[in-house]
C-alpha cells in the first residue's frame, strides 16, 4: 500500500526509544524525514544516524524535555514547518490519589497534556502554510479503562484524548487531521525493566505473560512495530477521511464497546 509519505517531515516526541522509535522507523521506511525528540541527546543522535543510513532519509535529533515550556519551544524553533506531529512522549505512574503530591500531578499534566498543547500551538501554523498535515496522539487504553495503581496516568491520558478531539474540530478546515491511538500492552524497554525488577532475569518472561493473561483478549504484548504501523497509516493519505477519532490497538483488552 502506497502511503504517500515520501519527503514529508515528522516530529516524534519520545522518538528515541520504544513505541516512538518504532514509529520513526515505520515513517522512515515510507520515505519520511524525521526529527527525533528525547531528553538523551547522544542516544537521539545515534538513532538518527542509524535511521538515516538504513532508510536513506533525513533524520535529526533534538535534545529537549517536552514536559517544560522551554523544551517545547526548542522543538518548535529547531523543526520549523513540518507535515506530521506525533505526540508520543510519556511514562506510567504508580501512586494513590490520597498519597500523590501536587508536584507529581503537575509533572504528568505537563508531560502528557501541556506538551501536546504547546507543540500544537507552535507547529500547526507551519502545517497550515504547507497546506495541511496530520497529528497523532499516543494516549492509552487507561484513558477509558483505568488501572487502580496509576490514577495520575489515567487522568492525564484521558485529558490528552479529549484535547485531541477538540484540536481536530479546530483545525479540520485547514486540512489537518488529528487522531488518537490508545495502545494496550506494548513490550517496551520500560515493561521489560520493571518485570526484571519484580521477577528477576529468570522469571520476567513468565511475569509478563501473567500480565497478558490477566488482560485477556489476545493474551500477549504487542511489539512496538504493531502500534507503529497503525500510526503510520493514520499519518498517510490512506486515512484521509479519519479525524477526531480514537483508535484502540489493544489486542482485545478493552472490556467495553
**40 to 19, 95, 171, 192, 199: CA distances (angstroms):** 16, 26, 32, 20, 28
**Distance in angstroms (rounded) separating the CA atoms of residues 44 and 60:** 8
Sequence-ordered list of residues with C-beta below 8 angstroms from that of 246, at least 6 positions apart, any chain = 139, 143, 161, 164, 165, 179, 180, 181, 182
Please tell me whether residue 143 adopts helix, strand or coil conformation. Answer: helix
Among 153, 204, 241, 247, the active-site one is: 153
- Pick the closest to residue 16 from 34, 43, 42, 35 (CA basis): 43
Phi, psi of 135 (to 5 degrees): -125, 130
Q: Would you call 153 a catalytic residue per the annotation?
A: yes
Phi, psi of 138 (to 5 degrees): -90, 100
Sequence-ordered list of residues with C-beta below 8 angstroms from that of 254, at least 6 positions apart, any chain = 141, 144, 145, 184, 217, 248
Residue the block writes with cell 490528552: 160
**Distance in angstroms (rounded) separating the CA atoms of residues 241 and 96:** 40
- Pick the closest to residue 138 from 92, 71, 73 (CA basis): 92
- Active-site amino acid positions: 153
Amino acid at each position: 500500500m502506497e502511503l504517500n509519505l515520501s519527503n514529508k517531515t515528522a516530529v516524534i516526541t519520545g522518538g528515541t526509544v520504544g513505541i516512538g522509535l518504532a514509529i520513526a522507523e515505520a515513517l522512515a521506511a515510507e520515505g519520511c524525514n524525521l526529527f527525533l525528540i528525547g531528553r538523551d541527546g547522544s542516544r537521539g543522535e545515534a538513532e538518527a544516524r542509524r535511521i538515516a543510513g538504513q532508510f536513506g532519509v533525513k533524520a535529526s535529533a533534538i535534545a529537549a524535555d517536552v514536559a517544560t515550556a522551554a523544551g517545547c519551544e526548542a522543538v518548535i524553533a529547531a523543526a520549523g514547518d513540518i507535515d506530521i506531529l506525533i505526540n508520543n512522549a510519556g511514562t506510567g505512574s504508580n501512586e494513590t490519589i490520597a498519597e500523590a503530591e501536587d508536584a507529581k500531578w503537575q509533572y504528568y499534566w505537563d508531560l502528557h497534556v501541556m506538551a501536546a498543547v504547546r507543540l500544537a500551538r507552535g507547529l500547526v501554523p507551519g502545517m497550515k502554510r504547507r497546506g495541511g498535515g496530520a497529528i497523532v496522539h499516543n494516549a492509552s487504553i487507561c484513558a477509558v479503562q483505568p488501572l487502580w495503581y496509576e490514577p495520575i496516568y489515567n487522568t492525564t491520558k484521558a485529558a490528552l484524548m479529549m484535547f485531541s478531539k477538540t484540536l481536530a474540530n479546530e483545525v479540520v478546515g485547514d486540512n489537518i487531521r488529528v487522531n488518537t491511538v490508545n495502545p494496550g500492552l506494548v513490550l517496551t524497554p520500560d515493561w521489560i525493566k520493571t518485570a526484571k525488577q519484580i521477577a528477576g532475569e529468570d522469571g520476567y518472561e513468565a511475569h509478563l505473560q501473567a500480565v497478558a493473561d490477566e488482560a485477556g483478549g489476545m493474551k500477549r504484548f504487542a511489539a512496538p512495530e504493531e502500534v507503529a504501523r497503525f500510526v503510520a497509516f493514520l499519518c498517510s493519505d490512506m486515512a484521509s477521511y479519519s479525524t477526531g477519532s480514537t483508535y484502540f490497538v489493544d489486542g482485545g483488552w478493552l472490556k467495553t464497546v
